[in-house]
């Protein structure tokens, strides 16, 4: 009997913590169906007169641009980022994990050291460079650097994963005459799919949720992403449309949930295989 009581108490406590953690999200979803007056009255958790007006007005957009445009901008930046990270970070990881060259250990150590360097330290120098190139207020500062394997965390993650690939397995195609590039394309990449999917998921989530860098480099509303567009509901017109803000915030979470649910299996496999066994 005491065992049942302990298990029941444990589950009750866990559920209580879950409710506390989910309450802000649930309140935002509920508030997206309320009027502004009902939101700030705060008398009820659930909307008394549910309405889709907030979704209609929010999707109509701000500053003359429909909200779908901001979704397209975010998907474009995230898509290019995924493509760039998968290609360049995997190539760098393959070199560090499976190739032998002079200075490999030193170079990999330097890559790891960049993980300790806060983004804010290099913000001003990089902004000056992009400004001199005429890239400010374009998507280029948010996309082009990723084609140079600048995401050190992903390089490290892929290195740890690729080190678990048997060297004997990669030597077999070399004996048959395959060069290093063919080994990388036809053997290493297919075997690294879980890690590559993990890189893609994290790239999408981090890019989709990114606000600071996009705020620094983008000032034209036509180029705004979802993260920047949500801010416009508060201060763009001098009045706050909180209902539309909450409604579009709910919609902005949908791609993240879909990506996580669909690729959850690969995400867990990529993290555990690459990090725990490395």
What is the C-alpha to C-alpha distance for residues 218 and 137, in angstroms, rounded to an integer? 4
Of 77-81, 170-174, 265-269, 272-276, the one with minimum mean pLDDT is: 272-276
Question: And the tokens for 235?
Answer: 């201060």
Question: In this predicted structure, what is the pLDDT of residue 72?
Answer: 95
Q: Which of the two residues, 119 and 196, has the higher pLDDT score? A: 196
- For residue 236, pLDDT beyond 60: no
In the chain, the domains with their CATH numbers are: 61-276 (1.10.3720.10)
Tokens 């690939």 found at: 165
Q: How confident is the model at residue 276 (pLDDT cuts 50, 70, 90)?
A: very low
pLDDT digits (tens, 9 = 90+) for 81-116: 999 999 999 999 999 999 888 989 999 999 988 888
- For residue 269, pLDDT beyond 80: no
Q: What is the DSSP letter of 187?
A: I
Question: And the tokens for 123?
Answer: 């913000």
Q: Which of the two residues, 38 and 267, has the higher pLDDT score? A: 38
Contact predicate 202/103, CB 8 Å:
no
Q: Compute the average pLDDT of residues 28-38.
A: 85
Question: In this predicted structure, what is the pLDDT of residue 51?
Answer: 84
Question: In this predicted structure, what is the pLDDT of residue 211?
Answer: 92
Please state the separation of Cα 98 from the chain's center in Å: 28
- For residue 79, pLDDT beyond 60: yes
What is the C-alpha to C-alpha distance for residues 246 and 51, in angstroms, rounded to an integer? 13
Give the containing element (helix H, strand E) for 164.
none
Contact predicate 241/57, CB 8 Å:
yes
Q: How confident is the model at residue 278 (pLDDT cuts 50, 70, 90)?
A: very low
38: how many CB neighbours lie within 10 A of its CB?
17
């Amino acid at each position: 009997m005491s065992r049942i009581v302990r298990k029941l108490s444990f589950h009750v406590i866990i559920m209580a913590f879950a409710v506390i953690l989910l309450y802000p999200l649930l309140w935002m979803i509920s508030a997206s169906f309320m009027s502004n007056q009902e939101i700030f009255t705060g008398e009820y958790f659930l909307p008394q007169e549910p309405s889709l007006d907030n979704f209609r007005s929010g999707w109509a957009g701000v500053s003359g641009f429909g909200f779908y445009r901001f979704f397209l901008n975010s998907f474009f930046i995230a898509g290019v980022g995924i493509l760039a990270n998968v290609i360049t970070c995997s190539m760098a990881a393959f070199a560090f994990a499976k190739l032998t060259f002079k200075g490999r250990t030193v170079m990999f150590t330097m890559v790891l050291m960049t993980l300790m360097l806060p983004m804010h330290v290099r913000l001003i120098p990089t902004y000056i460079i992009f400004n001199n190139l005429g890239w400010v207020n374009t998507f280029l500062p948010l996309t082009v650097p990723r084609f140079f394997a600048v995401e050190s965390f992903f390089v490290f993650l892929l290195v740890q994963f690729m080190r678990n690939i048997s060297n004997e397995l990669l030597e077999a195609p070399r004996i048959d005459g395959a060069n290093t590039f063919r080994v990388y394309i036809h053997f290493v990449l297919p075997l690294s799919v879980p890690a590559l999917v993990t890189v893609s998921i994290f790239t999408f989530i981090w890019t989709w949720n990114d606000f600071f860098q996009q705020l620094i480099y983008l000032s034209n509303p036509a180029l705004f992403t979802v993260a920047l567009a949500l801010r416009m509901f508060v201060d763009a017109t001098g009045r706050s449309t909180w209902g539309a803000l909450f409604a579009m915030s709910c919609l902005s979470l949908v791609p993240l949930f879909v990506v996580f649910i669909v690729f959850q299996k690969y995400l867990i496999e990529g993290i555990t295989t690459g990090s725990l066994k490395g």
